[in-house]
């Protein structure tokens, strides 16, 4: 890889990290921004590609943040080329949003003994997309208003079934919410203690993301969670991002105010992410992996796998 390419990749890491750290330093969690924006309240979804496929990982946060900053109502994004292929055009003067594509390629090298070895080399590519609100001439369905989301009670019942299907054991009682690794269970206060059903679901989502961490699930090492503030805060970043993604998937408006035990992490998150330009990328990747894991535990996912 050339020095120019390597520098460009570092600049992408730094530019995106600096944007997220700036939000945190202002006391704002960028992954809950959409729900606090008046034009998007109650109908937030993941950002969508031009073909209706949902974005994943860090791109979800980047495009949510861009939508809030610019007041976009459409959830769909596309490149200039994709817009042109649809016979449309981006309005003059519009600025696009940055999204990233991360992957790996294999390179064969010669070792000290003259033998060939294969190295797995990660790479990051940034590209620009535009929201449908910035594009003219698209087919009509790109401009349709978002579908009316299910009634609140229906959404709550759907979310309850989703978490029940994971098999995670939940016990109710006390005044704290946490995941207990020794007993592998989630502890939640009695439902009546929550402000509303959506708040209960969002907290359950948070703790269920912690539940994905053991070695027999996704193997995120939490052995130093209670001993090292940095590692504890990093795990909380992962599950907060994951819970926001899940709430979007389930049509639930999450808690907008951070829990007291999590609010204290915000400045620590800013410090961690600011000192390690790859940390937010890693956290978002872990969050996406955990969310996908929970989706894979659903009966429909199992049926699809059997059919394949």
Span 115-138, pLDDT tens digits? 777 777 767 889 999 999 999 999
Structure tokens belonging to residue 41: 């309240």
Confidence band of 35 (pLDDT split at 50, 70, 90): confident
* Tokens found for residue 141: 């369905």
Q: pLDDT at residue 206 above 80?
A: yes
- The token pair at 36 is 């606090």
**Which residue from 109, 96, 93 is spatially nearest to 62, judged by alpha carbons?**
96
| Pairwise pLDDT comparison (8 vs 283), residue with the higher score | 283
Place of tokens 């003219």: 136
The structure's pTM equals 0.86
Are residues 62 and 16 in contact, defined by beta-carbon separation less than 8 angstroms? yes
**Token pair recorded at residue 119:** 């190295």
**Cα dist from 222 to 76, 112, 238, 260, 262, whole Å:** 37, 38, 12, 21, 17
Within a 10 A sphere around the Cβ of 260, how many other Cβ atoms?
A: 7
The predicted-structure confidence for 208-267, as pLDDT tens digits, reads as follows 999 999 999 999 998 898 899 889 999 999 999 999 999 999 988 877 777 777 777 888
Residue 278 to residues 10, 221, 236, 272, Cα–Cα distance (Å): 9, 18, 16, 10
Cα-Cα end-to-end distance for the chain: 38
C-alpha 256/C-alpha 262 separation (Å) is 12
Strands 169-172 and 178-180: unpaired
- Of 24-33, 145-154, 229-238, the one with minimum mean pLDDT is 145-154
Better pLDDT: 116 or 83: 83
Other C-beta atoms closer than 10 Å to the C-beta of 49 total: 16
């Amino acid at each position: 890889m050339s020095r120019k390419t390597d520098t460009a990749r570092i600049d992408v890491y730094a530019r995106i990290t600096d944007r997220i750290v700036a939000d945190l330093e202002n006391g704002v969690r960028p992954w809950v921004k959409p729900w606090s924006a008046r034009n998007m309240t109650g109908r937030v979804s993941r950002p969508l590609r031009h073909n209706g496929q949902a974005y994943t990982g860090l791109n979800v946060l980047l495009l949510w943040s861009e939508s809030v900053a610019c007041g976009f109502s459409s959830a769909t994004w596309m490149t200039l080329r994709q817009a042109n292929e649809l016979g449309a055009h981006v309005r003059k003067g519009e600025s696009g949003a940055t999204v990233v594509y991360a992957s790996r390629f294999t390179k064969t090298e010669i070792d000290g003994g003259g033998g060939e070895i294969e190295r797995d080399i990660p790479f990051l590519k940034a590209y620009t997309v535009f929201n449908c609100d910035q594009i003219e001439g698209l087919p009509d369905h790109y401009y349709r208003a978002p579908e009316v989301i299910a009634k609140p009670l229906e959404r709550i019942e759907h979310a309850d079934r989703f978490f029940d299907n994971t098999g995670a054991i939940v016990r109710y009682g006390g005044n704290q919410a946490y995941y207990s690794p020794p007993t592998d269970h989630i502890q939640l206060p009695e439902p009546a203690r929550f402000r509303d059903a959506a708040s209960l679901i969002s907290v359950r989502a948070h703790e269920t993301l912690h539940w994905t961490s053991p070695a027999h699930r996704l193997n995120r090492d939490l052995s130093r969670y209670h001993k090292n503030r940095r590692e504890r805060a990093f795990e909380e970043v992962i599950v907060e991002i994951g819970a926001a993604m899940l709430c979007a998937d389930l049509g639930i408006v999450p808690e907008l105010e951070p829990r007291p035990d999590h609010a204290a992490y915000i400045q620590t998150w800013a410090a961690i992410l600011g000192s390690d330009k790859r940390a937010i990328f890693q956290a978002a990747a872990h969050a996406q992996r955990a969310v996908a894991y929970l989706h894979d535990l659903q009966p429909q996912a199992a049926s699809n796998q059997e059919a394949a």
